Structure 1
């Protein structure tokens, strides 16, 4: 049975519950968001969804934010005169932007 998961072709022996598939992958269902055939699946419905031939599934793992390169885990105080800080490539990490 062929389907697409995260953009890759996957073959399963037969129809499989989404929750069981996540278990096979060793994925904690509380740490992912799932889109099944274009619709976001509520976490409490993972056990109700059955993966079938032709399905398209996206599984996205939740990841916490990082720290800023300047250290201390917080961005420097916002200074509108220091626009160079915003324009420096790679200066900011996810979640680290001027206050």
Structure 2
């Protein structure tokens, strides 16, 4: 399946069915991130319910500390 993630087209396994599984695939499921799917910001609690489809646009934003 092809997804546009943070502006780049990537191929992910067909077994990735939800946003939660997508975050797990990229090892981001334990990090604090904001996820936008097709221009809609998703609530953290609903990520396992939101299905991904071929051609979806996903933005994943991580917070990074520094000074």
Using the size of structure 2 for normalisation, the TM-score is 0.83
Where in structure 2 are the equivalents of 1:5-84 lying within 5 Å?
5-14=5-14, 16-66=17-67
1:3 and 1:50 map into 2 onto residues whose CA distance is 12
Structure 2 stretches of 5 or more lacking a match? none
How many pairs were matched up? 66
Report the structure number with the largest CA radius of gyration: 1
Structure 1 stretches of 5 or more lacking a match? 67-99
The higher relative CO (CA closer than 8 Å, separation ≥ 6) is in 2
Runs of 4+ with deviation above 4 angstroms: none
Residue 40 of structure 1 deviates from its aligned partner by 0.4
- More strand per residue: 2
Using the size of structure 1 for normalisation, the TM-score is 0.59
